[in-house]
Amino acid sequence: MAPAESPSLVQLRSAGVSLVVDITGPRLPRLLHWGSDLGPLCPDGLAALAAHGAFPASPGDPDDPRRPGNWNIPPAVGLLAEHGAGWQGFPGLLGHRPGGADWSPLLAVETVAVTAPAGDVDAVGLAPRPGAARAIRVQAADPVAALALTVELELTDAGLLRTRATVRNDHPELPYTLDGLGLTLPVPTQADELFDLTGRWTRERSPQRQPFHQGTWTRETRRGRPGHDAPLLLAAGTAGFGFRHGEIWALHLAWSGNHRLWAERLPTGQAVLGAGELPMPGEISLAPGAHYTAPWLYAGHSDAGLDGLTARFHDQLRARPHHPRKPRPVVLNTWEAVYFDHDLDRLRRLADLGAEIGVERYVLDDGWFRGRRDDSAGLGDWYVDETVWPDGLHPLVDHVRGLGLEFGLWVEPEMVNPDSDLARAHPEWIMATGGRLPGELRGQQVLDLTHPGAYAHVRERLDALLSEYPIDYLKWDHNRELADAGHQPGGEAAVHGQTLAVYRLMDQLRADHPGLEIESCSGGGARVDLGILEHADRIWGSDCNDALERQSINRWTMALVPPELVGSHVGAARSHTTGRTHDLAFRAGTALFGHLGIEWDLTRASAAERRELARWIAHHKRLRGLLHGGRVVRVDHPDPALWMHGVVAPDRAEAVFALVAVGTSATWPHGRVRLPGLDPAAGYRLAVLPPGPETPGLGRGRPAWCVEEGVTGLRGSVLERAGLQLPTLHPEQLVLLHLTKE
């Protein structure tokens, strides 16, 4: 990137998105436009955009519109909303010095650096060519409050706005207590509906919508992790926006600890989205000269519905240097097969049957370490249990590797059972506050990884296991929330430091053991965020393997995370978590679209079931490049009982869609469904993948295209605009459609 002398108005453009940023000063930068691409604007065009966006001052506005940030140019709020600049909404910088001083700083810009790709700057003045700038770095200060601020902003190749801020305490003597640092992004008037997600254990990521009224809508977590109810995305959009239509502005905070997201509309009509870490009281105290850097905030715009937003996040993640490049191996996890019953012969038999049907990675789950016969003891004692494994894990690991499979192991490094040698030896390593231990949850407490001794112990134990055994993969669990998460003996809050310690531990293990992959599991899907995915290689979507629940969980998890990073397993016919029963076709067809795995006691499956499962695994492997590299599409269908989703290859030469009956319909037959994302000018061959036309319920209600040999001559324009007649499906059935260009 080439540095450039900064003009007063800068345009950044990428992937169909434009940002126009006012860096006139002396106040902090403001976004004059964040949305669909405006094309390259020359300085006169940028000035016209700013001038003609002006609106009359209201009675409550400051007398001098330039001082508090050009209030006559909407939106007036800067990237960091300042109370001292006249913003009456939620402030971006919260903090104070002893006695409550310096709580309302007013920052003035000192330097601005605008960067653009080499060759995209003019020779005269080194100013970026119109629309060529890609990043801005602003340094500001308030000498009275003795605070300095750096704001970084860039527009990525995927069209995502990525921004963060750093605050520094420049006082020579006094500390500064930081209570919050969050950035705000303006959204226009037409964004009048809010969307986010909520949930609970085994039912993560349930969508919710509401009007974007005046006032503040805030989502906060104090769980020490994003939580099963994490919003994942906070979006504002045009009313009724869907997967394929409507305009949306959304953000995600890449942080795995406590956080706050908010949407706010003032009586002036100004509306913003904001996000930042949520420190616990006194948790971040900046000594003289110390600084704090906020997590990255990712923000996306789409004028093509939620799928357009999803595409930006998927492109961003897939472009990372450390994104998994090799095919995602089919997993067999032992948890719902054996639970804590670790019998070597049975576990070897599971590996044999898994290898026969196409499994590529075998993961030994909970129960392998000292004292671990149930979930009430042993956490923290990361030694192989000699009473169960007299020869260590070598007999199983050697057998698994001899079958050509990778070997993985379950761990929960951040937790400790009070009934463990570690807790008895080092009770001071347990997080606590107020002179008491927190109440136990699942018989667990939290190990304080900010304590040097605790961190060194966990690192040494995991390193010893990874050095002794050829372990390719760690399933890294995190089952309890961080209540009373303080340092002993004083009880000072420690969630911020714990989050950074977990990141550091994962990074050090991966650096010491090249090729090691880590899964972020947190009681299922309670730690799903772009922060953890900088240090882990996949997330576990949910502890629920019920295929009907997983249809929704996967649907909304993949709104942010691409399928290859979302673990999705085929469980037993009767779900472990819900008791609901599904046939194998529905279970396997649901899991097919993620990082496929099996969590089922194959020794109890019939030979016919194993043969059918082998067919599904073979289909997944044939489609794996498409499923894990294509564009995720979801269909806006008027019947809530029928869902359709799929993946279309980047060149649109191939696609696979799942038509899913999630309930009973009010009509029969169901009507037509449109297949989006195809090449409108191309002809396609359509074939039905297993379970195919033999699926019960398709008989008399089978349309002409639903035949084993497939049909040809279907143009992309017809499929997307006219659609296909739906078969008559019973609830909890699905049909898979495979399309290839002729």
385 SS3 class: coil
Asked whether the beta carbons of 150 and 107 are under 8 A apart, the reply is no
Dihedral angle, C-alpha 444, 545, 258, 379, nearest 10 °: 20
Q: Which residues are identified as catalytic?
A: 477, 543
In angstroms, rounded to a whole number, what is the distance separating the alpha carbons of residues 261 and 529?
13
Nearest partner of 132 among 278, 18, 302, 56, judged by Cα? 18
Q: C-alpha distances in angstroms, 582 versus 190, 364, 570, 573, 631?
A: 43, 25, 11, 5, 28
Amino acid found at 489: P
Q: C-alpha distances in angstroms, 5 versus 25, 109, 169, 453, 655?
A: 14, 15, 28, 49, 47
CA geometry: angle 9, 12, 17, nearest 5 deg: 130
- For 274-285, give the secondary structure using H, E and C: EEEECCCCCCEE
373 is known to lie in a ligand binding site: no
CA geometry: angle 638, 634, 15, nearest 5 deg: 130
442 is known to lie in a ligand binding site: yes
In angstroms, rounded to a whole number, what is the distance separating the alpha carbons of residues 118 and 643?
46
477 is known to lie in a ligand binding site: yes
Nearest partner of 428 among 486, 498, 482, judged by Cα? 486
Amino acid found at 202: T
β 30-36/93-96 pair status? unpaired
42 is known to lie in a ligand binding site: no
In angstroms, rounded to a whole number, what is the distance separating the alpha carbons of residues 629 and 655?
11
Q: C-alpha distances in angstroms, 163 versus 170, 196, 318, 319, 559?
A: 23, 21, 19, 18, 21
201 is known to lie in a ligand binding site: yes
In angstroms, rounded to a whole number, what is the distance separating the alpha carbons of residues 447 and 483?
12
Q: C-alpha distances in angstroms, 641 versus 242, 668, 689?
A: 16, 12, 22
Nearest partner of 236 among 268, 270, 259, judged by Cα? 270
374 is known to lie in a ligand binding site: no
600 SS3 class: coil
521 is known to lie in a ligand binding site: yes
Tell me how crowded residue 144 is: count the other CB atoms within 10 A of its CB: 9
366 is known to lie in a ligand binding site: yes
Structure tokens at 48: 């016209």
543 is known to lie in a ligand binding site: yes
Tell me how crowded residue 40 is: count the other CB atoms within 10 A of its CB: 13
476 is known to lie in a ligand binding site: yes
Q: Which residues are annotated as a binding site?
A: 201, 365-366, 442, 475-479, 521, 543
In the annotated binding site for substrate, the residues are 201, 365-366, 442, 475-479, 521, 543
